[in-house]
Amino acid sequence: MSIFLALVTIALYVSCDSLASDWGKTGRTLSIVVGTISALIGYLAFAWLNKYWSLAQAGAFVNVGIALGAVAVGYFFFKEELTTIQWWGVALGLVSIFMLASGGK
């Protein structure tokens, strides 16, 4: 349940970032409204996640997930190219999420 909640929180934050970026480029009111709602729900989900994990674990997991999610959105939707060192960063981010999710076991 807690991993699912963390992934939902990450998805909400990444969607909020994407919608805010869209609003900045196009000025569409719908993007900023939906982005704001997404952020509010994301903060509530993060608060709920703190019932299951410590603040340090939840914060680290969600922040690394947001970075990886932003890279995924850029790569798949905006066709951005990643350098070798950026791919290494993605790999290290995935390793850190695995380590956090496994609880050091």
Q: With cut-offs at 50, 70 and 90, classify the pLDDT of residue 8.
A: very high
Q: Which two tokens stand for residue 103?
A: 């609880």
How far is residue 104's CA from residue 84's CA, in Å, rounded to a whole number?
28
Q: What is the pTM of this model?
A: 0.81
Task: Give the pLDDT confidence of 50-99 residue by residue, as tens digits.
Answer: 999 888 889 988 999 999 998 998 889 888 899 999 999 999 988 988 88
Helix and strand numbers, DSSP H then E, in the chain: 4, 0
Is the pLDDT at 1 greater than 80? The verdict is no
How far is 55 from 18, CA to CA, in rounded Å?
25
- Distance in angstroms between the alpha carbons of the first and the last residue of the chain: 18
pLDDT for position 43: 95
* Residue 54 backbone dihedrals phi, psi, to 5 degrees: -70, 160
Domain boundaries, the chain: 2-102
